[in-house]
Amino acid sequence: MKSSVLQSVPAGVQDPSSVVADSADAPSPAGQNTTIWWCIGVLAALGALGMSPILIALWEIWTDDPLKSIGMLIVPASILLTLRVWRQTGWELRGTWWGFVPAAVALCMSGFRHGFTWTAIVGPFYYNLLSPKVALYLFGSGIVLLFGGFRVWRRAWFPLALLLCSQPIPYFALIHGDLPLQNISAHIARSFAAAIGFPPSNKELLRLMFTPDFGMFIAPGCDGVRGALTLGYIGLVTGYLKRVSIFRWISYVCGGVFLGYLFNLIRLCALVLYYRMSLGHPKLEHFAKWADYIMGGCLFLIASLLFVWVVSREEELRSESTGMSREPGELSASGRRLFYWRAAALAIPVLLFLVPGINALRTHRRSFAAKVREGIITRAQLDSLMPKQLGSYTLNRAWQETVNGRIEVESGAYTGRSPDEATLGAWLPSRSHNMHVSWMARGLDPVLRRDRTFVTAQGRPVEFDTAFYSDGIVDSIAGNVFCSPFECRASPIISPSHLAMWFTPDPPDFDSPGKRAVPLFFWIERPHTADPAIHEELTAEARQFLAGVDFGDFSRQFQ
């Protein structure tokens, strides 16, 4: 009977038993998608390895300053939010060949980062159009476009744009925002001290507020920008997740920034009260550093909870998945073939830049800055790198300066026939740095800043970015230059203009041992005077000092 039934199947209709047999042999959609996603994951991981020079540059930025450390949280947040959007579109795989272009460009930007720079200037602001964050954004966009397609890329616009915030605060914001806020914060702290009958003219207060006897400072640097920046980013992400209107979104960000600054001012005033109570109590004085951490941490927690409470009273999170399938669909045979062709195309530049990426990791590990950071090069060894004699100038002492617990500057003080003291120093981390920025962060304003050429040892002319400083106690001249064992270049001074673009081939290489450019500086000071000829006298003293310095040989010590 069974045989007759099978034999009665009409012509043109597939035998059910053959369908079962074929389906047993064919790979399942889940298995196919697993292979596809493994392929995407491996390519993305290898691509990230090829992007090592960019990621190393970002890591240096994040670990250089606590203000910028939030960037290391922004990148994983961007990845998770992008995957969230992709999941909400049903893990859509409608990739386009256009994604190959930004991914390949990002790898080229990483591999040839020492070949050129491109800077856009808009009024007082300037932007590096080939900065690490741009390369990271292009790579992320390329992966999404190449495999997910335009629809996924459009829906993931915000998570991908977060990659542009991997350098969380731009340079112009530090100069035009952070420094003025430091002055405001210090002024408010002093005013509060005066209001409670503890005026800043009190010598004990000055000792506590502006020397490290208590292990901390209330002065420039305590402007609360870290807390404000963190709450601002929390507001930015929260507004996106809640899909609020643009005006409410802006209010979330502004409200978070405002709360951060407000609670920091409360912290400063609380520290003034703590100073007042601590006078004459050594145990409280020694506990001041932890008191700062505890008060700051508690106030930041209160500000965060207050912000979350206000936001939670708004409308509930809207569902973004309406009408979207969360189950991955099956690709057709032609779609799978096209996917593998695109994966193979991306694999070519990924593999090309894989070796340079691995070499960049190895070089970073063996760099001079890494050896200093790991204690392979000791403080005594650093001091021994300072020349003992520079022309008629003799080394008196050498020392290091630390930033956030890391040794970043090696300096030496020299004296010659004049009573003026001359300082020569080197910036140790493997990245660009202009010492004028550091001095401005300390509240010193440069005057007559411009490039000046001085004749150094062996009659070699070197151009410096120089400026004069005066704090009412000393007058000084300072200069900054980037030097390798082969050449010296003045650190650029970007003059504000309405709109301009600079394309610079062969910029200084701050990474490659043996030929890297080392940011060097000099500083000559003398007691303050109202003599109008002070600038000419300091310039003459600088000429005399620099005539004995071989900057190429000096930079060779820090390779």
3-state SS string over 46-62?
HHHHHCHHHHHHHHHHH
70-81 average pLDDT score: 91
Listed ranges 46-60, 174-188, 229-243; the one with the highest mean pLDDT? 46-60
**Close Cβ partners of 461 (under 8 Å, ≥ 6 residues apart):** 453, 454, 455
Q: What does the pLDDT read at residue 514? A: 87
* Length of the chain, in residues: 559
Which pLDDT band, with edges at 50, 70 and 90, does 472 fall under? confident
**Is it the case that residue 190 has pLDDT exceeding 80?**
no
pLDDT tens digits, residue range 524-542?
Answer: 999 988 888 899 999 999 9
Q: What does the pLDDT read at residue 24? A: 42
Mean predicted lDDT score pLDDT of the chain? 80
**b/e string for 505-527 if b means 16 or more Cβ within 10 A?**
eebbebbeeeebbbbbbbbbbbe
The rounded Cα 76 to chain-centroid distance in angstroms is 15
3-state SS string over 446-471?
CEEEEEEEEECHHHCEEEEEEEEEEC
* Greater pLDDT, 25 or 523: 523
Q: Write out the E strands in 349-496.
A: 389-390, 393-403, 406-415, 421-427, 447-455, 461-470, 474-483, 488-490
Q: What is the CA radius of gyration of the chain?
A: 30
Tell me the longest C-alpha to C-alpha distance in the chain: 121
Q: What does the pLDDT read at residue 452? A: 94
**Is it the case that residue 116 has pLDDT exceeding 50?**
yes
Query: How much of the chain exceeds pLDDT 90, in percent?
Result: 37
135-148 average pLDDT score: 95
Which pLDDT band, with edges at 50, 70 and 90, does 511 fall under? confident
88-114 average pLDDT score: 91
Q: What does the pLDDT read at residue 416? A: 86
Structure tokens at 69: 């450390």
* Greater pLDDT, 74 or 309: 74
Listed ranges 230-244, 270-284, 326-340, 542-556; the one with the highest mean pLDDT? 542-556
Listed ranges 243-252, 287-296, 497-506; the one with the highest mean pLDDT? 243-252
pLDDT tens digits, residue range 231-284?
Answer: 888 889 888 988 888 988 998 888 888 887 787 778 777 777 777 777 666 666
CB 144 within 8 A of CB 152: yes
Q: What does the pLDDT read at residue 379? A: 93
**Close Cβ partners of 143 (under 8 Å, ≥ 6 residues apart):** 40, 43, 44, 47, 99, 103
Query: How much of the chain exceeds pLDDT 70, in percent?
Result: 74
Mean pLDDT is lowest, of 20-24, 277-281, 440-444, 519-523, for 20-24
Distance between CA atoms of residues 115 and 509, nearest Å: 9
Structure tokens at 183: 């002055």
31-49 average pLDDT score: 87
Structure tokens at 205: 């207060």
Q: Is 41 exposed, middle or buried (0-12, 13-18, 19+ CB in 10 A)?
A: exposed
φ, ψ at 39 (rounded to 5°): -65, -45
448-466 average pLDDT score: 93
**Is it the case that residue 193 has pLDDT exceeding 60?**
yes
Q: What does the pLDDT read at residue 443? A: 67
Which pLDDT band, with edges at 50, 70 and 90, does 99 fall under? very high
Mean pLDDT is lowest, of 320-329, 377-386, 412-421, for 320-329
288-305 average pLDDT score: 67
Q: What does the pLDDT read at residue 178? A: 64
pLDDT tens digits, residue range 6-38?
Answer: 344 444 444 444 444 444 444 444 456 788 899
Residues in a beta bridge with 427: 409
The DSSP line for 148-208 is I-HHHHHHTHHHHHHGGGSS-S-HHHIIIIIHHHHHHHHHHHHHHHHHTT--TT-HHHHHH
Q: What does the pLDDT read at residue 225? A: 74
Mean pLDDT is lowest, of 75-84, 186-195, 209-218, for 209-218
Nearest to 125 by CA among 178, 176, 180: 176
CB 263 within 8 A of CB 302: yes
Mean pLDDT is lowest, of 71-85, 262-276, 285-299, 327-341, for 285-299
Mean pLDDT is lowest, of 261-265, 355-359, 454-458, for 261-265
* Greater pLDDT, 194 or 351: 351
78-106 average pLDDT score: 93
